[in-house]
Each structure stands twice: as C-alpha cells, then as structure tokens.
Amino acid sequence: MANVLLLSAFLFIVFGISGVQLFKGILRNRCFAQGPGQTLALVDEERVCSKSSKYLWAGYSCGFGEVCTTYGNPNHGITSFDNILWAWLTVFQIITLEGWTPIMYDVMDATSGWSMLYFIILIGLGAFFLINLAVGIVAEVYDQVQDEDEKEEDENAEDEREGAMDLY
C-alpha cells in the first residue's frame, strides 16, 4: 500500500509541476469588446481565449473588435494551474473524472489543441491505472485479513473441541 501512495504522490508532483509550467495563468484570459472611449465589455465569461497564435493548432481567438485580456480563472477561481496547490486540486479533479472535459477544452482554447495530450496521459495513468491499482491493493489486503480471520476461527473452534473432549 505504501508503494501505491508513493506512486500517487509521484504522479501528483509530476503532473502538478508540468501543469504549472505549461498552463500557468492561461485560464484567466477572456474576450472583451472594445467600446467607445476605450471601455471594455466582457463578451463571454465562460469562454477562454488565446493571447498567442504561435501554435500550429491555435486556441480560440477573439473576434473582430475584441481583445483577449485577463479576467479570472474559471469555476469561481478554483480551476487553475497558477500554483502547485491549485494544480494538485485540478489534477485530482481530472483523475477522478469529475468535470475534466471543461478543463481540457478551456486549456485547449487558451493554448493549443495539442494540450489534450497532457490530459490523455494524465487520465490514462491516473484515472485508469492508478485508481485500479489502489482498488486492487485494497481488495488484496481485504482477502489477507479475511484469510487470517478464518484461520483464527478454525483455531478457536479446534481449541473449543479439545476443551470439550477434556471435560468428558
């Protein structure tokens, strides 16, 4: 069981640091329409935009007359890769497969479509391999405890029979 916990910690550390290095601050960008007098009006609070077009498979670009600027992280600021703690929380959410697709789509909109590789590898290793490994270890430990209990019951029953024979 200790090896599974060590492997889990290693996975969280590696993917947390990778997420911070690759995606720090990118989920804050939103499109704003430029109004008269240089005023900005938020176009869509849910849609993340890309400030960079250096990627071959570029993310979402704002429309004509709109500018991509910083607004805030999605999910009331909870979902982000801005620091290692938020990254670990986001990695945990992805591994549990609870709402991981909006995170992936937001990251793809903010950077590139190639960022889906991060999520595919994380889900393959975390959600499928690591979770099943942990469940397998728990089942194995349960079987060992059950076998030990059966041995104890057999020994107790044998002792009781010997004690009953001594009475006669």
pLDDT digits (tens, 9 = 90+) for 116-155: 999 999 999 888 888 888 888 889 889 999 989 888 888 8
Alpha-carbon 73 to chain mean position: 16
Can you name the residues that pair with 31 across neighbouring β-strands? Answer: 68
pLDDT over threshold 80, residue 162: no
**Cβ pair 87, 111 in contact under 8 A:** no
Confidence of residue 55 (pLDDT cuts 50, 70, 90): low
Classify residue 139 as left (phi > 0), alpha (psi -120 to 50) or beta: alpha
CB burial class (10 A; 0-12, 13-18, 19+) of residue 157?
Answer: exposed
Alpha-carbon dihedral sign for residues 117, 119, 122, 123? negative
Half-sphere exposure of 59 (CA within 13 A, CB side): 26
The first and second tokens of residue 89, run together, are: 């929380």
**5-17: average pLDDT:** 91
**61-76: average pLDDT:** 85
Alpha-carbon dihedral sign for residues 74, 79, 85, 87? negative
Residue 59: per-residue pLDDT: 82
Can you name the residues that pair with 39 across neighbouring β-strands? Answer: none
Residue 102: per-residue pLDDT: 92
Residue 86: per-residue pLDDT: 93
How far is it, in rounded angstroms, from Cα 79 to Cα 151?
50
Q: What is the pLDDT of residues 80-119, one digit of tens each?
A: 999 999 999 999 999 999 989 999 999 998 888 888 999 9
